[in-house]
A and B are shown apart, each in its own frame.
Chain A
């Protein structure tokens, strides 16, 4: 089920009304059933994968807890969790990719094979929930978390429907205690939740899906001029943000309505003043997951500079692979890693913010930094969005050899689509508060609410249903 569907608009109010009438224990049970229904509504057969992941990690964590002094047994349980999750992910997401890549490699040296390929859809959200459950078992292994005693509580942690298919990838240290305790629903949280839902839908159906109309044909056009390609990749940057941050906002908003507090997944990345700043603000739950469970395990602060750089590249490479079983994503991740590395060494020589040089100077530097960051981060998206590596190189070729002209008025359209959102983001950013609009006078605040609502209903694009991140 997707949030921007009538099915969900029927589903959620029913669940919510029952939810607020129940007590905590019953609420959890309701949420578990609702979450399985939410997931199974798309394809009930894939619920089995969710069950397997849940059961294995529950058993593994209990096994680790019951053997505090037996390192070998603890490692076996941890290995069981990681192996089973990565096997599910590897089989369902990467089997065809690796098999076809191996076939291509063998073909190139004259060895022809005819491998069996899998012919079914990628299970929704598989990359999200497998990473979430793995982090749980790793935290238990490291002694940072007590495992859930009740299986159903744990099952709810894995399947909690607002964030099940596209995150945020919640740490058990944050979500599990909220499942266990009595939750209170306050008016403030309901208001904030409603605002986040409204903003999330606006980002998705108004911003992201209207940008899609502008850029999708360009990415399919082999003859698109370089200027159009440049426009499309910048547009895709904002589309991706609207789509994914929109989902996260809706997920957080729904959770707030039910008394849960999910982690913030995006912290105004479109206003980042540098590449490093961007990665601290973009897909925070995933980037911090990679930092905590991959980067820190590859080395520590005493590692050599070279080692740290390689580790960084590995993390970005894995990030690309996580996003999709295609060389386009691998290239995207690798390019992001390289850009990050280049930035690390170049940034000391770039003019930056300076408190002693006045407000105007700093604002100008911030704006210039933001523009540069958007360009640098957008550039590798040519790989992310293109249908194949070949197509991305065709676009890159146009970008550097045939820049040409932009289609008239297309830039105006993008600016119009982005204007309202960017204005809201700037306000939130300056006030350092995502609910900063709650402090503006009643009339403009009412105007913002009504504009968001009708921006969605009247100007939103409802023909493009799925969220981009569902396929990751």
Chain B
């Protein structure tokens, strides 16, 4: 203590700065709903994590996928209609399905049906590599995965160099100022009155997203939130038709997920979604469908399902990947009227 006091006297500013930093970092842990001020991407992941860990509601059908399948409406269940929750996450990579489902099973009753509805794009070989070998992939997915799982849950997901790599990333986020740096970024330049009231632009946006997700059982159509200049969809589709003339698929993440479901006696529906005109017929997506079909032969707990119309006009897409508002409307009409009843039939058939 004496030593500390003597050092403090030598450089009070140095120690005051340390004290301020420590107090600030600790106090951040006690701010309620801090995530509501975070970037929308991170906040959205938090919402899903919160649902998995804290919701009292159990769902009959659980849909897992990516930013495209996120457009599918959930269904509030009743006695004659099984509930469906859309647990899809945008840009979370190809490996998270198994672990998120495992986490869900830890807190909830087993669902009657699992729908895997990710785009074959997420299985692209270069997207499924090791994070430590290709940190660019990790940079793409990290803020999702770091928010989705606790460190202890992560421990079982990786090993060796991969685990070391991920652990370092967790270490960085152990400081809340780093973890929630977007919160502070968004506050810079905001009016004092706004900060005092807590109603920052990010907070208002996140609150409305939380309400949308709550009402739609997990659904949110990303195409409603961005504006692409006219002609983007056409030009992008043209580009993708070229890109998908080739490409290798790594089916391991899908297979790992299916095996996990089988171990847990869960029925899986692989659901293929409509895409912009021609995309589903490209060699890459044809291969993707083939792999899904192979899974149905290899595993008795898997069935394949697709929409009546698998090719949508490009005008149904914001930028050729995500459904525009009108595209999502058509998609959900068919989903609720035709596909959902088939999912219900699937449940009933396995009873």
Report A's interface with B, CB cutoff 8 A: 6-7, 9-10, 187-188, 191, 194, 438, 442-443, 445-446, 449-450, 453-454, 457-459, 463
Contacts and interface: CB of A to CB of B under 8 A. Distances in A.
Interface of B: 7, 10-14, 16-17, 20-21, 139, 168-169, 171-172, 175, 177-178, 181, 184-185, 188
Would you call the interface of chain A mostly helix, strand, loop, or mixed? helix
Contacts of B168: 6-7, 10
26 contacts: A6-B168, A6-B172, A7-B168, A10-B171, A187-B7, A187-B10, A187-B11, A438-B11, A445-B13, A446-B12, A446-B17, A446-B20, A449-B14, A449-B17, A450-B17, A454-B177, A454-B184, A457-B177, A457-B178, A457-B181, A458-B177, A458-B178, A458-B181, A458-B185, A459-B185, A459-B188
B175 A457 contact: yes
Contacts of B181: 457-458
Contacts of A453: 17, 21
Contacts of B14: 191, 194, 449
Contacts of A442: 12-13, 16
A418 to B, nearest CB: 16
Contact of A450 (B10, B21, B171, B184): B21
B13 A6 contact: no
A6 B171 contact: yes
Contacts of A194: 14
A442 B17 CA distance: 10
Contacts of B12: 442, 446
Contacts of B13: 442-443, 445-446, 449
A212 to B, nearest CB: 15
Given A10-B168, A450-B17, A458-B184, 8 more contacts: A6-B168, A187-B10, A191-B11, A194-B14, A442-B13, A446-B20, A457-B177, A458-B185
B20 A450 contact: yes
A188 B181 CA distance: 32
Nearest to A463: B139
Contacts of B20: 446, 450
Contacts of A7: 168
A456 to B, nearest CB: 10
A10 B13 CA distance: 26
Contacts of A445: 13
Nearest to B175: A457
A442 B11 CA distance: 9
B154 to A, nearest CB: 15
B153 to A, nearest CB: 20
Contacts of B175: 457
Contacts of A459: 185, 188
Contacts of A457: 175, 177-178, 181
A458 B172 CA distance: 12
A151 B14 CA distance: 40
A216 B12 CA distance: 41
Nearest to B20: A450
Contacts of B184: 454, 458
The 4 closest A-B pairs by CB, nearest first: A449-B17, A445-B13, A6-B168, A446-B13
Of A188, A438, A449, chain B has the most CB atoms within 10 Å of the CB of A449
A451 to B, nearest CB: 9
A188 B13 CA distance: 13
Nearest to B139: A463
Contacts of B188: 459
Contacts of B185: 458-459
A446 B7 CA distance: 15
Nearest to B177: A457
Of A187, A194, A454, A458, chain B has the most CB atoms within 10 Å of the CB of A458
A23 to B, nearest CB: 22
A198 to B, nearest CB: 9
B146 to A, nearest CB: 13
A9 B171 CA distance: 10
Contacts of B16: 442, 446
B15 to A, nearest CB: 9
A191 B20 CA distance: 17
Nearest to B178: A457
A446 B16 CA distance: 6
Contacts of A463: 139
A203 to B, nearest CB: 18
Nearest to B184: A458
Contact of B169 (A6, A9, A443, A450): A6
B77 to A, nearest CB: 43
A459 B189 CA distance: 13
A191 B21 CA distance: 16
Contacts of A6: 168-169, 171-172
A449 to B, nearest CB: 4
B230 to A, nearest CB: 22
Contacts of A443: 13
Nearest to A444: B13
B148 to A, nearest CB: 20
Contacts of B21: 450, 453
Contacts of A191: 10-11, 14
Of B7, B11, B13, B20, chain A has the most CB atoms within 10 Å of the CB of B13
Contacts of A187: 7, 10-11
A208 B26 CA distance: 30
Contacts of A9: 171
Nearest to B13: A445
A196 B178 CA distance: 22
A305 to B, nearest CB: 52
A384 B188 CA distance: 34
A9 to B, nearest CB: 8
